[in-house]
Structure 1
Amino acid sequence: MKSLKKYKITSILICAILHSFIYTSCIDRLDFIGTTEEGQLVIYGLLTDSGEKQIVTISRTSLLGLAPKGVPGAEVFLLTDSGEKIRYFDIGNGVYELINYKVNDGKRYSLEVIFENNTYRSSFESLPKATGEDNLSFTFKNEPFNNESPEPVFTVSTECTFPETPEPIFIRWLVEETYLWERIWLPCVGWCPPPPPNCFISDLIEPNRLNLFDGSNTGTRNTSLVLGKRQVDNSFISIFFVSVRQLSINREAFIYWEKIKIAVSNQGSLFDIPPAPVFGNIYNAANPNERVLGYFEVAKEKITRISTNRGDVPFFLNRPCEFIVGKPASEYTAECIECDERARGKKWTTIEPPWWNEN
């Protein structure tokens, strides 16, 4: 049962992180009340100063540790301490989106969700003032990762420097990969269509790894940290970008993520604290006894990128989609023809990201 409880927490965490690409105000201790129940509401929102889409996800927990199910049909609003109320748009599957909203340093923000005659709110949070400066690097080497024996592994790390500020800095990092996948242009007779556009495929690297820095208990202004690892495969055949989202968060949000990290890392020994739901800053305004999972956090964001290509990889990479004269179209695998087949559920587009050639 302990491994099942652990998986339930992990699935909720991964779901929230993936949607942020991609959770009552009292969070000074971890409430252990047993296993996550089926149908518990999970509300997660991330508001940043990046100027990009702001996302809120609403879901309900499922049995057997399965990923939460998206909840559409809610009314979702961003509230400010000056009385503004801005609506998020329901784009389906429990995802709500706010576009072109400029976060103001001088305001405090809260989330309001109206669903099934209940009103859920978060505590107000303000935008932190400072971020660190990431200096990214990567390595390729043989080491144990998913297996006990060594295997080719790609690792991205940071040397992060923080400014001198009167207020402590709390940091959380998210790491996303985006790689180029070239599709086959099949031979044809007569009029031929233009070559198909390439695929740009994105995913989080180790979404269940929580990279945190607490600047309140140390005088150091820098830290060295491994941000993520993944197996080396043919995703590295062409250009491979890593985008590191550094989120400067408030103390309360840091405490929440630190408790999540403890719960997810728990291995279930006799002397460990048992895994259990971690409650954040969202509550039912009319029924404070309802246990609501998730968090609404306001973060100052900085994105740093690093890229690699085939010439950096010291391992053999299989090329499944090389064009061979005379080879029938039926003998090429589906991933050589369609982006969706290659992506296998990951995000993809045929539009080159605006930052693609910045390095």
Structure 2
Amino acid sequence: MRNRIILIGLFALLLFQVGCTEPFEIETVDFESVLVVESTITDEFKPQIVKLSKTSSLENPEILLVNDADVTVTGSNGESFSFYWDSETGNFISQNSFSAQPGVSYTLNIITSDGKRYSSSAVTLPPSVGIDELYAERVVDATEEKDGVQILIDTEDPTGNAKYYRYAYEETYKIVAPYPSPYNSEIIDFDPISGTYQVILTPREPEEICYSTEFSTGINQTTTTELNENKVFRFPVRYLSKLDAKMQTRYSILVKQYVQSVEAYTFYKIIKELGSIESLLSQGQPGYVAGNMVSEENPDEKVLGFFEVSSMTSKRIYFNYDDFGLEKPPYFVDCDLLLLDYRDNTNLDNDPDEREIIYTYLTFYDYQVFSFAQGVLYTIAKPECTVCTSFSSNVRPDFWED
């Protein structure tokens, strides 16, 4: 097997121009272990994040996180911020919270464990632009096979200083378990020969209501450079099918609007055209996308990724499925109740051994008891249908509104 795997280039040069900007070049390259940098520092006062990894071989395609580097962000005003590696998230996180300031240029500096030094070009904070409107509308589009709810955003910068925008979101939805279980169950005294056992049921507070939060993936951005007005109007941020279980009870979305530099916008646009940000980590990437990170010792060394400073504003909305005249969407999983009789321990007349089913489902599939009658009749269901914490959290978010 060859030591170096040649990446097949779809093209050697991608011509992409926004306004009067220069195009980024894409080169066909051999695969090699390359440092990957992903970081967006914002004007939010919070712990900032830098993610470092390395490309991997075709035989070992998983993301290889870098966890032993010296990472700092320095400002032209003399401030310096150190980062530590967090094992839970796999990211480097700033030791102290900070926010990017207007008029200050920032540089990301990295020293890897083998002593190699990398740095970014100096980047400055773009102007901040608030979100004018965030709203949801019912959409039915047979051409695009859409029937559900579209979340849209309007933004305007009358100064004309902000022209490039990227959007991300955090969606949180309320979950109500259809058959909350009032029992903890335990099987004891199982006899494998006779198949007999005892089911011990102890009362518990039913876990009925939960909340789940998910984060957007991929790249969603737009520009106003080709419009008559410097206005983002009805830009689609998120689409939910009318059958999406996330709308089954109550749904909320927090949309974050990032104002970008033209360099950051162009870089991520090319990445999206290549197949999204994951292309940075893929040896199937059709070319090398030049970012703003370089090796200080070897300018010819390839470094993937981009260090971005961006202003961020956000807005949250809530809605229910019936706000749009929709029927209640189906639950996340099928929730059939099984009524089983412990006394039935035969397979006569093709009748299943219900005693064995009770044992198997409670022991190996984590089914929960929904109700119990006559000392022998058990009504059971999947854990997702009876204990919502089996796939979510029963901690109500501080921001939640019913």
Give the root-mean-square deviation of aligned CA atoms. Answer: 3.4
- Per-residue CA shift, 1:92-143, capped at 9, x if unaligned? 2641112521332232211111113111111111112231433122234455
Local SS of the residue matching 1:260: helix
Change (3 A) 1:66 1:306: farther
Task: Tell me what 2:174 maps to.
Answer: 180
- Per-residue CA shift, 1:247-279, capped at 9, x if unaligned? 0122221222232233338xxxxxxxx942322
Q: Distance in 2 between matches of 1:112 and 1:72?
A: 15
For normalisation by structure 2, the TM-score amounts to 0.68
Instruction: Give, as a single letter, the amino acid of the residue that structure 1 aligns with 2:120.
Output: S
Asked if the contact 2:207–2:386 (Cα under 8 Å) also holds between the matched residues in 1, the reply is: no
- 1:331 corresponds to 2:375: no
Task: Tell me what 1:352 maps to.
Answer: 396
Q: Distance in 1 between matches of 2:62 and 2:136?
A: 31
Q: Distance in 1 between matches of 2:267 and 2:260?
A: 11
Task: Tell me what 1:15 maps to.
Answer: none
Asked if the contact 2:131–2:153 (Cα under 8 Å) also holds between the matched residues in 1, the reply is: no
Asked if the contact 1:209–1:228 (Cα under 8 Å) also holds between the matched residues in 2, the reply is: no
Local SS of the residue matching 2:391: helix
Instruction: Give, as a single letter, the amino acid of the residue that structure 2 aligns with 1:50.
Output: E
Q: 1:107 aligns with which of 96, 100, 104?
A: 104
Change (3 A) 1:130 1:153: same
Asked if the contact 1:178–1:241 (Cα under 8 Å) also holds between the matched residues in 2, the reply is: yes
Give the superposition deviation at 1:328: 4.7
Change (3 A) 1:213 1:66: farther
Aligned residues: 316
Change (3 A) 1:260 1:310: same
Q: Distance in 2 between matches of 1:214 and 1:89?
A: 38
Task: Tell me what 1:226 maps to.
Answer: 236
* Greater length-normalized contact order (CA 8 Å, ≥ 6 residues apart): 1
Asked if the contact 1:59–1:94 (Cα under 8 Å) also holds between the matched residues in 2, the reply is: no
Give the superposition deviation at 1:191: 7.2
Local SS of the residue matching 2:297: coil
Q: Distance in 2 between matches of 1:242 and 1:36?
A: 42
Q: Distance in 1 between matches of 2:240 and 2:33?
A: 33
Task: Tell me what 2:73 maps to.
Answer: 78
Q: Distance in 2 between matches of 1:305 and 1:169?
A: 23
Asked if the contact 1:5–1:36 (Cα under 8 Å) also holds between the matched residues in 2, the reply is: no
Change (3 A) 1:91 1:276: same
Q: Gaps (5+ residues) in structure 2?
A: 1-6, 11-20, 185-200, 277-284, 338-369
Instruction: Give, as a single letter, the amino acid of the residue that structure 1 aligns with 2:221.
Output: N
Local SS of the residue matching 2:26: coil
Asked if the contact 2:127–2:162 (Cα under 8 Å) also holds between the matched residues in 1, the reply is: no
Q: Distance in 1 between matches of 2:206 and 2:101?
A: 45
Q: Distance in 1 between matches of 2:207 and 2:312?
A: 35
Q: Distance in 1 between matches of 2:385 and 2:37?
A: 35
Q: Distance in 1 between matches of 2:86 and 2:379?
A: 37
Task: Tell me what 1:134 maps to.
Answer: 132
Change (3 A) 1:137 1:247: same
Change (3 A) 1:219 1:335: same
Local SS of the residue matching 2:27: coil
Asked if the contact 1:177–1:203 (Cα under 8 Å) also holds between the matched residues in 2, the reply is: yes
Q: Distance in 1 between matches of 2:52 and 2:245?
A: 35
Asked if the contact 2:120–2:292 (Cα under 8 Å) also holds between the matched residues in 1, the reply is: yes
Asked if the contact 1:186–1:329 (Cα under 8 Å) also holds between the matched residues in 2, the reply is: no
Local SS of the residue matching 1:261: helix
- 1:342 corresponds to 2:387: no
Task: Tell me what 1:171 maps to.
Answer: 165
Between 57-66 and 41-50, report the one with greater CA deviation: 57-66
For normalisation by structure 1, the TM-score amounts to 0.75
Q: Distance in 2 between matches of 1:258 and 1:118?
A: 29
- 1:43 corresponds to 2:93: no
Q: Max radius of gyration: which structure?
A: 2
Local SS of the residue matching 1:30: coil
Task: Tell me what 2:366 maps to.
Answer: none
- 1:239 corresponds to 2:237: no
Q: Distance in 1 between matches of 2:31 and 2:321?
A: 47
Asked if the contact 1:137–1:158 (Cα under 8 Å) also holds between the matched residues in 2, the reply is: yes
Q: Gaps (5+ residues) in structure 1?
A: 7-26, 266-273, 344-348
